[in-house]
Chains A and B, each alone.
Chain A
Amino acid sequence: MTARPRSFTRFREVQEELEKSGAAVFRDAEGVESLIVRSPYSIQYVHSYAEDSPFFLGLAEGRLKGSRCSKKGCGFVYATPRAHCMVCGSPTTWLDLPTEGRVHSWTTCHFGGEAFLHETPYNLALIEFDGAGSLLLVRLKDAVESELYVGMPVVARFDPNPKYSITDIWFVPKR
């Protein structure tokens, strides 16, 4: 017979034990015992950018693309592209956005989802562009928390080794 898993009264110790042996017993303040096991889960998605693909292909070529509503009298310009206009429902066409803009709002993330914790602290900023009616969320680099402000002029940078992700573009302060 194999032994019972080790027993703990602190949940944190249970988590440590799971890393070691994969199973533990947790005994709570009322003496109730729970058997806890490790249960891994991972998956590789086959993620298609679908109708947003030209935007991400554009980033890889060092171009920032938005979209413009094709309907006369609407013509709304999206800085985060949409294949169909949110205002009138018509299809949009692609256009090149300016690579300079202004900070509409910003934050510095000192924590993040687990996948991004090792990158902290990092800045996120919503960027506004002349001629566009919506914004674009990006990383803002080469500036620390105390330097950032609403209205700050910024300029785009592109990754010369694209990863085919929104992180292929980032902005830096215009100096």
Chain B
Amino acid sequence: MVTGGVTKFAKAHPAMDFRLMVKRAYDYALKDASNLTADRIDGTRISYFSDHFSRQLKAASMVQDYLGMNPKGSVRIEWGGATGGECFQAAYEAVASGRMDVCLAAGYETMSRVPTWKGNEFIALASDTNFDFPLGGFYTGYYALMVVRHIYEYLRLGRFAHVKDEREAQRLAIAEGSRIMSMVSVKNHLNALHNPYAQYPKRLTVDDVLKSEMISYPLTREQICTMSDGAAVAVLCDEARAREFTDRPVEVIGVGCGTDTMRLADRPFGKVPLMSHEKASDYAHLPYPGVHSFRAGRSAGLEAYRMAGITDPNREIDFIELHDAYASSEIQTYEDLGLCKYGEGYSFVERGDPFLKGIDYGFPTPRAGTIPVNPSGGLIACGHPVGATGLMQAVFAFWQLQETVPRHFRDPALQLPHPRRGAIHSHAGTGSSVTVSVLERGFR
């Protein structure tokens, strides 16, 4: 990767349609590279999630057209919430296969053109329309079902195992889980105070998060990402050309993708695919993935780590931008990606591992800086214009590895000290598809 650009994510950008948003991000990316002009780009991969949101089918062709990329090769990428992550990997594949020397990955979503709850309905149509959607199923509801079971497996049967009364034990476990999820929400909103691209930067307390509107029990509004308008682009090229465009290129050293059943009801109860820090005996009584964990995230992580030669992600990766559509799924994803064992996600937050050093979150974070997660603010605070989101993560990770965050954010607070490796993680519909890409600093 040699350059990238992002528009500020916003509730609505009525003065820009999708073409102009992509153009703005694209122009930024071109300007931030040297010697990179449109004629050096061999083709594009363009991502957006839903035709419903703009009622313009084949909209990617109009992006291609607006950027003046015709008659170069292009294809539209769609893979639910993981659309942006897939687009990044599609561009990687175009270059790695030798088909292109330089490939532009561009993604966007304009979600403001429909009312919020109609938008939720459109997204809910990305669940089984025979069995799930007609029940009033919607995404916050599905993730709530998942986290209630996650809390049951790991808090009820863990730190509340001693409580005899079953219903009391479950109430205590959910209250504990909600408190810890709120710490994640505080972290991401607070990090975003230093990110000018973020939609909802703010200082919150755990109490504020807990007391915000209940959307689907136990998930509250501040634990959930919002709909957004936004665009992001990344330019990838082969190693031979990278230094023509920047003296700080970033290498893609691992890509992975995993999938799972569309319906939660069909998820198997099997065994955990182990990472090197885990033993089969750790999970002797854990039916996996059930509805508590994302097998697709684990598979994507394993594939990407294998390719990158990573055996201990917690030590070998310096930070992660992961798909926190929900504070719950951020905690579940720590475990899927092997940052801690299954069941340790809640203590991982309480110990402070995923927090940034040097920021006061309003509660103790003793191990802050161990492996910062979503230093940018993630989806919860930056917004989630679906087709752009995975590419936004790529751009933020790229700037981290380049150590150019202070210039792009006009604020040095979020720049990590000399990060060498970062991972990005893009996630679709209850974990039905997930991508993980590992990026490494390609310069001294």
Residues of A participating in the B interface, judged by any CB pair closer than 8 Å: 11, 14-15, 26, 28, 30, 32-34, 36, 39, 41, 47, 49, 52, 56, 78-80, 82, 86, 104-117, 119-120, 122, 124-126, 133-139, 145, 149-151, 165-167
B148 near A: Cβ within 8 Å? yes
Q: How far is the CA of A28 from the CA of B11 in the complex (A)?
A: 13
Q: Which of A15, A33, A104, A149 contacts B291 (CB 8 A)?
A: A104
**Is the C-beta of B138 less than 8 angstroms from some C-beta in chain A?**
yes
Q: In the complex, which of the residues B130, B170, B269 has the most CB atoms of chain A within 10 Å of its own CB atom?
A: B130
Between A and B, 10 residue pairs with Cβ closer than 8 Å are: A30-B15, A80-B131, A109-B138, A110-B216, A112-B138, A126-B149, A135-B291, A137-B137, A139-B135, A166-B135
B140 interface residue, CB < 8 Å from A?
A: yes
- With a cutoff of 8 Å between Cβ atoms, the chain B residues found around residue A49 in the complex are 130
Q: Which B-chain residue is minimally distant from A123 (CB atoms)?
A: B217
Cβ of B131 and Cβ of A139 under 8 Å apart?
A: no
Bound Cα distance A105, B292 (Å):
9
Query: Separation in Å of the A32 CB from the closest CB of chain B?
Result: 4
Residue B358, interface by CB 8 Å: no
Of the residues B115, B138, B167, contact of A116 by C-beta under 8 Å:
B138
B265 near A80 with CB under 8 A, answer: yes
Chain A min CB distance to B402 (Å): 30
Interface size bucket, B side? 35 or more
Q: Which residues of A contact B58 (CB under 8 A)?
A: none
The verdict on A111 contacting B149 (CB below 8 Å), with A80-B265, A116-B136, A150-B156 known, is no
- CB of A113 within 8 A of CB of B170, answer no
Contact partners of B14 in chain A: CB under 8 A: 11, 14, 26, 28, 34, 36
A152's nearest neighbour on chain B, judged by CB, is B167
Main secondary structure of the interface of A (DSSP, over half): mixed
Residue of A nearest to B143 (CB): A107
Q: Does B158 contact A (CB under 8 A)?
A: no
Interchain CB contact under 8 A, B166 and A151: yes
- Determine the chain B residues whose CB is within 8 A of the CB of A125 once the complex forms: 145
Chain A residues near B167: list those with CB within 8 A.
149
In the assembly, what is the distance between CA of A11 and CA of B113, in Å?
11
Q: How far is the CA of A150 from the CA of B148 in the complex (A)?
A: 8
Say yes or no: A134 contacts B265, CB within 8 Å. yes
Find out whether the CB atom of B263 lies under 8 angstroms from the CB atom of A124.
Answer: no
Q: Please list the 10 inter-chain residue pairs (A to B) with the smallest Cβ-Cβ separation, ordered nearest first.
A: A113-B121, A107-B144, A116-B136, A105-B149, A135-B265, A114-B117, A108-B217, A80-B265, A32-B15, A34-B14
Question: What A residues does B135 contact at CB under 8 A?
Answer: 124, 137-139, 166-167
Q: With the chains together, A87 CA to B12 CA distance in Å?
A: 45
- Say whether B148 contacts A124, CB under 8 Å: no
Contact of B136 among A11, A34, A82, A113 (CB under 8 A): A113
Complex partner residue of B215 from A105, A110, A139, A149, CB under 8 angstroms = A110
A4 to chain B, nearest CB (A): 16
Q: Separation in Å of the A101 CB from the closest CB of chain B?
A: 12
Chain B positions 22-41 with a Cβ under 8 Å from a chain A Cβ: none
Q: Do B134 and A165 touch (CB < 8 A)? A: yes
Chain B stretch 99-125: residues in CB contact (< 8 A) with chain A:
112, 115, 117-118, 120-121, 124
B130 with A117: CB separation less than 8 A: no
Known: A135-B264, A135-B265, A167-B134. A113 touches B117 (CB 8 A): yes
CA distance A139 to B132 in the complex (A): 10
CB proximity of B240 to chain A, nearest CB, Å: 42
B311 within 8 A of partner (CB)? no
CA distance A80 to B267 in the complex (A): 11
Bound CA–CA A81/B261 (angstroms)? 13
Set B156, B218, B291: member contacting A126, Cβ < 8 A: B291
Neighbouring B residues of A111 by C-beta, 8 Å: 117, 120, 138, 140, 215-216
Q: How far is the CB of B57 from chain A (nearest CB, A)?
A: 12
CB neighbours of B263 from chain A (8 A): 80, 137
Residues of A within 8 A of B145 (CB): 105-107, 124-126, 137
Q: Is the CB of A105 within 8 A of B152?
A: yes
Given A80-B266, A137-B135, A149-B170, output 14 extra A-B contacts at Cβ < 8 Å. Answer: A34-B15, A80-B263, A86-B266, A105-B145, A105-B149, A107-B218, A109-B141, A109-B216, A110-B213, A112-B117, A112-B141, A113-B124, A122-B136, A165-B134
Q: How far is the CA of A52 from the CA of B134 in the complex (A)?
A: 15
* Closest chain B CB from A113 CB (angstroms): 3
In the complex the two chains form, what is the Cα distance from A135 to B141 in whole Å? 16
